[in-house]
Amino acid sequence: MSNSKPYVIGVAGGSGSGKTFFLNCFLNHFSEEEVCLLSQDDYYIQVGEMTAEEISFHNFDLPSCIDIKQFEEDVKHLLDYKTIYKEEYTFNNPKPKPKILEIKPAPILIIEGLFIYQYKKIDPLFDYRIFIDADSEIALERRLNRDLKERGYSEEDVMYRWKNHVMPAYNEFLLPHRKRCDKIINNSTNELRNVLDITDDISRDLRAKLKI
């Protein structure tokens, strides 16, 4: 166990901004012993049995949909260099069997998600805040590709969520935090080289700062 607090990095961005792609590139610069990742998505409150129609109208794009107490508790454990175990969130899809995630502490803790800068007990913990941005047309295209292929939603469902849930939540709970982030990344292109160059720069600066 280290005597110093882990260096905490926040990675936020709207739906379709490319957070997952960015994180995958970023994590490639570090070993499992150097960095750990905690995803807000794994703290969605299970809504129980719902019909497909009920799920399509249920708004998951609200900070209140997250089990914030458990989220805060697990962040504290990782800050104290304690391993946590968390059931993977399967987006209310009953087919896959959720995995039990073992998240081991590390000198660098990355917390990612839509609302991470919104929670009053989580927000002050960040040493470095990243905001992933993308043009709305590009973000919607990515959202459509993901939800149609991976989650089996209809295009009508995706568009309804985008207009009534996703964009209002982005404007109210995420966009106001953009201006106070340390790094704003425009991820509107799908050029791999752009993201690789950005993660190269951030990881190099981070290694120099933390001497790892």
- All structural domains of the chain: 7-202 (3.40.50.300)
- Other Cβ atoms within 10 Å of 84 Cβ, number: 18
pLDDT range class, residue 113, cuts 50, 70, 90: very high
pLDDT in tens, 158-173: 899 999 999 999 999 9
Task: Please enumerate in sequence order all residues whose Cβ is within 8 A of that of 160, keeping only pairs 6 or more positions apart, or say none.
Answer: 56, 57
pLDDT at 2 over 60: no
- Residue 125 structure tokens: 């913990």
Pairing label, strands 84-87, 100-103: antiparallel
pLDDT in tens, 170-208: 999 999 999 999 999 999 887 788 889 999 999 999 999
pTM of the model: 0.88
Task: Please enumerate in sequence order all residues whose Cβ is within 8 A of that of 96, keeping only pairs 6 or more positions apart, or say none.
Answer: 90
How high is the pLDDT of residue 194? 87
How high is the pLDDT of residue 115? 95
How high is the pLDDT of residue 95? 67
pLDDT range class, residue 50, cuts 50, 70, 90: low
pLDDT in tens, 88-109: 876 656 666 778 999 999 999 9
The helix (H) or strand (E) run that includes residue 9 is strand 7-13
Q: State how far the Cα of 199 lies from the Cα of 5, in Å rounded to an integer.
A: 23
How high is the pLDDT of residue 132? 96
Q: Could you tell me how many residues make up the chain?
A: 212
The pair phi, psi for residue 17, each rounded to 5°, is -80, -20
pLDDT range class, residue 1, cuts 50, 70, 90: very low
